[in-house]
Amino acid sequence: MKIKNLLLVLVALIVFSCTGEKVNKSEFPQVKEELSEQLKVLVQAIPDDKVPRSYPNKDGDYRMAGIRDWTCGFPAGSFWLMYEMTGDEYWKETALENTLKLDGVQYRTTTHDLGFMVFCSYGNAYRLTGNEDYKNVIIQASESLLTRFNPTIGCIRSWDHNQDKWDYPVIVDNMMNLEMLFWASEVTGNPKYREVAVSHADVTLENHFRDDWSSYHVVSYDTITGEPVLKHTHQGLHHESAWGRGQAWGFYGYTMCYRETGDKKYLNAAENIGDYILENLPEDMVSYWDFNDPAIPNTNRDASAAAIMASAFYEL
Protein backbone atom coordinates (compact mmCIF):
# COMPACT_ATOMS: atom_id res chain seq x y z
CA MET A 1 0.00 0.00 0.00
CA LYS A 2 1.29 3.44 -0.90
CA ILE A 3 -0.09 4.86 2.35
CA LYS A 4 1.96 2.39 4.39
CA ASN A 5 5.06 3.38 2.42
CA LEU A 6 4.28 7.04 3.04
CA LEU A 7 3.87 6.41 6.76
CA LEU A 8 7.19 4.56 6.87
CA VAL A 9 8.87 7.55 5.25
CA LEU A 10 7.22 9.90 7.75
CA VAL A 11 8.27 7.73 10.70
CA ALA A 12 11.82 7.62 9.36
CA LEU A 13 11.89 11.39 9.06
CA ILE A 14 10.64 11.75 12.63
CA VAL A 15 13.21 9.30 14.00
CA PHE A 16 16.13 10.89 12.17
CA SER A 17 15.03 14.38 13.12
CA CYS A 18 14.95 13.37 16.78
CA THR A 19 18.54 12.07 16.77
CA GLY A 20 20.10 15.51 16.43
CA GLU A 21 19.32 19.18 16.80
CA LYS A 22 18.53 19.85 13.17
CA VAL A 23 14.89 20.80 13.71
CA ASN A 24 14.56 24.56 13.82
CA LYS A 25 12.01 24.87 16.58
CA SER A 26 12.16 28.65 16.35
CA GLU A 27 10.06 28.38 13.21
CA PHE A 28 6.98 27.24 15.12
CA PRO A 29 6.42 30.45 17.12
CA GLN A 30 6.79 32.35 13.86
CA VAL A 31 4.08 30.24 12.23
CA LYS A 32 1.82 30.78 15.24
CA GLU A 33 2.40 34.52 15.06
CA GLU A 34 1.64 34.64 11.35
CA LEU A 35 -1.57 32.67 11.86
CA SER A 36 -2.61 35.03 14.62
CA GLU A 37 -1.95 38.13 12.54
CA GLN A 38 -3.87 36.80 9.55
CA LEU A 39 -6.87 35.86 11.65
CA LYS A 40 -6.87 39.23 13.41
CA VAL A 41 -7.19 40.93 10.03
CA LEU A 42 -10.09 38.60 9.30
CA VAL A 43 -11.79 39.39 12.62
CA GLN A 44 -11.85 43.09 11.81
CA ALA A 45 -13.71 42.39 8.57
CA ILE A 46 -16.56 40.32 10.04
CA PRO A 47 -19.97 42.07 10.22
CA ASP A 48 -22.46 41.08 12.91
CA ASP A 49 -24.82 39.24 10.56
CA LYS A 50 -22.34 37.45 8.29
CA VAL A 51 -19.30 35.18 8.29
CA PRO A 52 -16.26 35.23 6.00
CA ARG A 53 -16.37 32.45 3.45
CA SER A 54 -13.30 33.02 1.31
CA TYR A 55 -10.18 35.09 0.75
CA PRO A 56 -10.29 38.69 -0.47
CA ASN A 57 -11.20 39.20 -4.10
CA LYS A 58 -9.11 41.32 -6.42
CA ASP A 59 -10.71 44.42 -4.90
CA GLY A 60 -9.55 43.41 -1.43
CA ASP A 61 -13.00 42.56 -0.07
CA TYR A 62 -13.66 39.30 1.74
CA ARG A 63 -16.35 37.07 0.32
CA MET A 64 -19.01 36.98 3.03
CA ALA A 65 -21.89 34.58 3.61
CA GLY A 66 -24.96 34.55 5.82
CA ILE A 67 -24.91 32.86 9.20
CA ARG A 68 -27.02 30.06 7.73
CA ASP A 69 -24.33 29.20 5.17
CA TRP A 70 -22.74 25.74 5.32
CA THR A 71 -19.38 27.35 6.15
CA CYS A 72 -20.68 29.46 9.04
CA GLY A 73 -19.00 27.35 11.73
CA PHE A 74 -15.51 27.49 10.24
CA PRO A 75 -14.42 30.97 11.44
CA ALA A 76 -15.53 30.28 15.02
CA GLY A 77 -13.80 26.90 14.90
CA SER A 78 -10.59 28.55 13.70
CA PHE A 79 -10.75 31.08 16.53
CA TRP A 80 -11.26 28.33 19.10
CA LEU A 81 -8.21 26.51 17.77
CA MET A 82 -6.17 29.72 18.04
CA TYR A 83 -7.31 30.03 21.65
CA GLU A 84 -6.25 26.44 22.29
CA MET A 85 -2.89 27.09 20.64
CA THR A 86 -2.11 30.38 22.37
CA GLY A 87 -4.15 30.55 25.57
CA ASP A 88 -4.88 34.17 24.64
CA GLU A 89 -8.22 35.34 26.06
CA TYR A 90 -8.69 37.55 23.00
CA TRP A 91 -9.22 34.44 20.91
CA LYS A 92 -11.60 32.92 23.43
CA GLU A 93 -13.75 36.06 23.40
CA THR A 94 -13.63 36.26 19.61
CA ALA A 95 -14.48 32.58 19.26
CA LEU A 96 -17.37 32.89 21.69
CA GLU A 97 -18.82 35.91 19.91
CA ASN A 98 -18.72 34.13 16.56
CA THR A 99 -20.12 30.92 18.04
CA LEU A 100 -23.10 32.35 19.89
CA LYS A 101 -24.46 34.13 16.84
CA LEU A 102 -25.02 30.67 15.31
CA ASP A 103 -27.38 29.60 18.11
CA GLY A 104 -30.43 29.25 15.85
CA VAL A 105 -28.66 26.87 13.47
CA GLN A 106 -29.20 23.93 15.84
CA TYR A 107 -32.90 23.82 14.94
CA ARG A 108 -32.47 23.75 11.17
CA THR A 109 -33.86 20.67 9.46
CA THR A 110 -33.37 21.88 5.89
CA THR A 111 -29.65 21.14 5.65
CA HIS A 112 -27.29 18.21 6.09
CA ASP A 113 -24.37 20.51 6.94
CA LEU A 114 -25.09 20.77 10.66
CA GLY A 115 -21.84 19.03 11.51
CA PHE A 116 -19.88 21.69 9.66
CA MET A 117 -21.98 24.47 11.12
CA VAL A 118 -22.35 23.36 14.74
CA PHE A 119 -19.63 20.83 15.54
CA CYS A 120 -16.81 23.11 14.33
CA SER A 121 -18.13 26.00 16.42
CA TYR A 122 -20.03 24.66 19.43
CA GLY A 123 -18.08 21.39 19.38
CA ASN A 124 -14.79 23.17 19.96
CA ALA A 125 -16.47 25.54 22.40
CA TYR A 126 -17.67 22.63 24.55
CA ARG A 127 -14.38 20.76 24.26
CA LEU A 128 -12.39 23.76 25.47
CA THR A 129 -14.77 25.19 28.08
CA GLY A 130 -16.92 22.29 29.30
CA ASN A 131 -20.00 24.53 29.22
CA GLU A 132 -23.04 22.24 29.26
CA ASP A 133 -25.10 24.74 27.29
CA TYR A 134 -22.84 24.17 24.31
CA LYS A 135 -23.19 20.41 24.63
CA ASN A 136 -26.97 20.75 24.52
CA VAL A 137 -26.74 22.78 21.30
CA ILE A 138 -24.77 19.97 19.63
CA ILE A 139 -27.25 17.34 20.78
CA GLN A 140 -30.15 19.40 19.43
CA ALA A 141 -28.30 19.82 16.12
CA SER A 142 -27.86 16.05 15.99
CA GLU A 143 -31.60 15.60 16.54
CA SER A 144 -32.28 18.03 13.70
CA LEU A 145 -29.91 16.13 11.42
CA LEU A 146 -31.68 12.83 12.14
CA THR A 147 -34.89 14.24 10.66
CA ARG A 148 -33.20 14.03 7.25
CA PHE A 149 -32.52 10.29 7.50
CA ASN A 150 -34.52 7.92 5.29
CA PRO A 151 -34.42 4.34 6.65
CA THR A 152 -35.46 2.86 3.29
CA ILE A 153 -32.38 4.34 1.66
CA GLY A 154 -30.19 4.24 4.75
CA CYS A 155 -28.78 7.73 4.19
CA ILE A 156 -29.21 11.32 5.30
CA ARG A 157 -30.60 13.49 2.53
CA SER A 158 -28.16 16.16 1.42
CA TRP A 159 -29.90 18.86 -0.60
CA ASP A 160 -33.51 19.95 -1.00
CA HIS A 161 -32.79 21.97 -4.15
CA ASN A 162 -32.78 20.73 -7.77
CA GLN A 163 -35.68 18.36 -7.14
CA ASP A 164 -36.31 18.23 -10.88
CA LYS A 165 -32.90 16.60 -11.23
CA TRP A 166 -32.50 14.42 -8.13
CA ASP A 167 -35.21 12.68 -6.12
CA TYR A 168 -33.07 12.03 -3.04
CA PRO A 169 -29.52 13.35 -3.44
CA VAL A 170 -26.70 12.20 -1.19
CA ILE A 171 -23.32 13.88 -1.66
CA VAL A 172 -19.96 12.54 -0.53
CA ASP A 173 -19.45 15.75 1.47
CA ASN A 174 -21.99 14.44 3.97
CA MET A 175 -19.41 11.99 5.34
CA MET A 176 -17.96 14.95 7.23
CA ASN A 177 -21.16 15.55 9.21
CA LEU A 178 -21.24 12.04 10.67
CA GLU A 179 -18.58 12.88 13.24
CA MET A 180 -21.10 14.92 15.21
CA LEU A 181 -23.50 11.95 15.32
CA PHE A 182 -20.83 9.60 16.66
CA TRP A 183 -20.08 12.18 19.34
CA ALA A 184 -23.76 12.56 20.24
CA SER A 185 -24.11 8.85 20.93
CA GLU A 186 -20.96 8.87 23.02
CA VAL A 187 -22.08 11.71 25.29
CA THR A 188 -25.77 10.77 25.57
CA GLY A 189 -25.47 6.99 25.63
CA ASN A 190 -28.21 6.82 22.99
CA PRO A 191 -27.09 4.59 20.08
CA LYS A 192 -29.52 6.07 17.54
CA TYR A 193 -27.11 8.75 16.32
CA ARG A 194 -24.31 6.25 15.82
CA GLU A 195 -26.63 3.83 14.04
CA VAL A 196 -27.59 6.49 11.51
CA ALA A 197 -23.94 7.46 11.01
CA VAL A 198 -22.91 3.85 10.38
CA SER A 199 -25.82 3.24 8.01
CA HIS A 200 -25.00 6.36 6.03
CA ALA A 201 -21.30 5.45 5.85
CA ASP A 202 -22.09 1.90 4.71
CA VAL A 203 -24.51 2.91 1.95
CA THR A 204 -22.17 5.64 0.75
CA LEU A 205 -19.30 3.16 0.65
CA GLU A 206 -21.38 0.79 -1.45
CA ASN A 207 -22.61 3.32 -4.01
CA HIS A 208 -20.31 6.33 -4.25
CA PHE A 209 -17.00 4.74 -5.22
CA ARG A 210 -15.75 3.47 -8.55
CA ASP A 211 -13.47 0.47 -9.05
CA ASP A 212 -10.38 2.70 -8.79
CA TRP A 213 -11.69 4.23 -5.52
CA SER A 214 -12.40 7.61 -7.05
CA SER A 215 -15.72 9.01 -5.90
CA TYR A 216 -18.89 10.30 -7.47
CA HIS A 217 -20.06 13.58 -6.01
CA VAL A 218 -23.85 13.04 -6.01
CA VAL A 219 -25.81 9.79 -5.86
CA SER A 220 -29.58 10.11 -6.13
CA TYR A 221 -31.82 7.35 -4.74
CA ASP A 222 -35.30 6.04 -5.43
CA THR A 223 -37.27 6.71 -2.24
CA ILE A 224 -39.53 3.70 -2.82
CA THR A 225 -36.92 1.02 -3.55
CA GLY A 226 -33.95 2.62 -1.84
CA GLU A 227 -31.80 1.90 -4.89
CA PRO A 228 -29.39 4.39 -6.51
CA VAL A 229 -30.71 5.73 -9.81
CA LEU A 230 -28.29 8.53 -10.80
CA LYS A 231 -24.59 9.15 -10.20
CA HIS A 232 -23.63 12.72 -10.98
CA THR A 233 -21.39 15.63 -10.14
CA HIS A 234 -22.45 19.11 -9.15
CA GLN A 235 -19.06 20.75 -8.67
CA GLY A 236 -16.66 18.56 -10.63
CA LEU A 237 -15.72 18.57 -14.31
CA HIS A 238 -18.25 15.98 -15.44
CA HIS A 239 -20.26 13.07 -14.05
CA GLU A 240 -17.45 10.53 -14.38
CA SER A 241 -14.63 12.79 -13.18
CA ALA A 242 -12.98 12.86 -9.76
CA TRP A 243 -13.66 16.24 -8.17
CA GLY A 244 -10.67 16.96 -5.93
CA ARG A 245 -12.47 18.12 -2.80
CA GLY A 246 -14.94 15.27 -3.12
CA GLN A 247 -12.08 12.78 -2.91
CA ALA A 248 -10.89 14.61 0.20
CA TRP A 249 -14.31 14.46 1.87
CA GLY A 250 -14.49 10.71 1.40
CA PHE A 251 -10.92 10.15 2.55
CA TYR A 252 -11.36 12.13 5.74
CA GLY A 253 -14.81 10.65 6.31
CA TYR A 254 -13.71 7.01 6.29
CA THR A 255 -10.57 7.75 8.28
CA MET A 256 -12.87 9.29 10.91
CA CYS A 257 -15.32 6.37 10.73
CA TYR A 258 -12.50 3.92 11.42
CA ARG A 259 -11.44 6.00 14.41
CA GLU A 260 -14.98 6.03 15.79
CA THR A 261 -15.87 2.37 15.14
CA GLY A 262 -12.68 0.35 14.73
CA ASP A 263 -14.35 -1.34 11.74
CA LYS A 264 -11.63 -2.52 9.35
CA LYS A 265 -13.80 -1.98 6.28
CA TYR A 266 -13.57 1.74 6.92
CA LEU A 267 -9.79 1.49 7.30
CA ASN A 268 -9.63 -0.41 4.02
CA ALA A 269 -11.73 2.27 2.33
CA ALA A 270 -9.58 5.09 3.71
CA GLU A 271 -6.38 3.38 2.59
CA ASN A 272 -7.68 2.76 -0.91
CA ILE A 273 -9.04 6.29 -1.30
CA GLY A 274 -5.72 7.60 -0.02
CA ASP A 275 -3.86 5.48 -2.56
CA TYR A 276 -5.98 6.91 -5.35
CA ILE A 277 -5.26 10.43 -4.15
CA LEU A 278 -1.50 9.83 -3.92
CA GLU A 279 -1.43 8.40 -7.42
CA ASN A 280 -3.03 11.57 -8.79
CA LEU A 281 -1.45 14.37 -6.78
CA PRO A 282 1.20 16.60 -8.36
CA GLU A 283 4.70 16.71 -6.87
CA ASP A 284 3.91 19.60 -4.53
CA MET A 285 0.94 17.65 -3.11
CA VAL A 286 -1.57 20.48 -3.65
CA SER A 287 -4.63 18.87 -5.20
CA TYR A 288 -5.93 19.69 -8.63
CA TRP A 289 -9.51 20.97 -8.50
CA ASP A 290 -10.52 17.88 -10.52
CA PHE A 291 -8.21 14.94 -11.17
CA ASN A 292 -9.63 14.42 -14.66
CA ASP A 293 -9.20 17.93 -16.00
CA PRO A 294 -7.53 17.51 -19.43
CA ALA A 295 -5.66 20.77 -18.83
CA ILE A 296 -3.55 19.20 -16.05
CA PRO A 297 -0.96 20.37 -15.03
CA ASN A 298 -2.04 23.82 -16.23
CA THR A 299 -5.26 24.00 -14.28
CA ASN A 300 -6.58 25.28 -10.96
CA ARG A 301 -5.53 23.83 -7.61
CA ASP A 302 -7.69 23.41 -4.52
CA ALA A 303 -5.88 24.28 -1.30
CA SER A 304 -8.97 23.39 0.74
CA ALA A 305 -8.92 19.86 -0.69
CA ALA A 306 -5.20 19.65 0.10
CA ALA A 307 -5.83 20.67 3.72
CA ILE A 308 -8.55 18.05 4.18
CA MET A 309 -6.35 15.38 2.61
CA ALA A 310 -3.39 16.35 4.81
CA SER A 311 -5.54 16.08 7.93
CA ALA A 312 -6.73 12.61 6.94
CA PHE A 313 -3.22 11.41 6.04
CA TYR A 314 -1.91 12.73 9.36
CA GLU A 315 -4.54 10.83 11.34
CA LEU A 316 -4.36 7.67 9.27
Largest CA distance in the chain: 64
Residue 170: Cβ within 10 Å count: 28
Is the four-CA dihedral 119, 124, 129, 130 of positive or negative sign? positive
Number of H-type helices and E-type strands within the chain: 12, 7
245 is in an annotated binding site: yes
In whole angstroms, what is the distance from residue 27 CA to residue 33 CA? Answer: 10
Kindly state the helix (H) or strand (E) to which residue 50 belongs, with its residue range.
strand 50-54
Provide the b/e sequence for 28-56 (b: ≥16 CB within 10 Å).
Answer: eeeeeeeeeeebeebbeebeeebbbbeee
Measure the CA angle with vertex 214, ends 212 and 218; round to 5°. 135
Query: Catalytic residue at 113?
Result: yes
Is 284 marked within a binding site? no
Residue 233 annotated as binding?
yes
Q: Is the peptide bond before 297 cis (omega within 30 degrees of 0)?
A: yes
Q: Which of 69, 113, 293, 302 is catalytic?
A: 113
Backbone angles phi, psi at 60, to 5 degrees: 90, 10
The reply, when asked if residue 159 is annotated as ligand binding, is no
The one catalytic residue among 69, 173, 275, 293: 173
Tell me whether strands 218-221 and 63-66 are parallel, antiparallel or unpaired.
unpaired
* Whether 61 is catalytic: no
Q: Closest Cα to residue 74, out of 123, 108, 137, 40?
A: 123
Residues in a beta bridge with 170: 219
SS3 assignment, position 72: coil
Give catalytic residues, as residue numbers: 113, 173
- Which residue numbers belong to the known binding site for substrate? 113, 173, 233, 245, 249
Q: Which residues line the annotated binding site?
A: 113, 173, 233, 245, 249
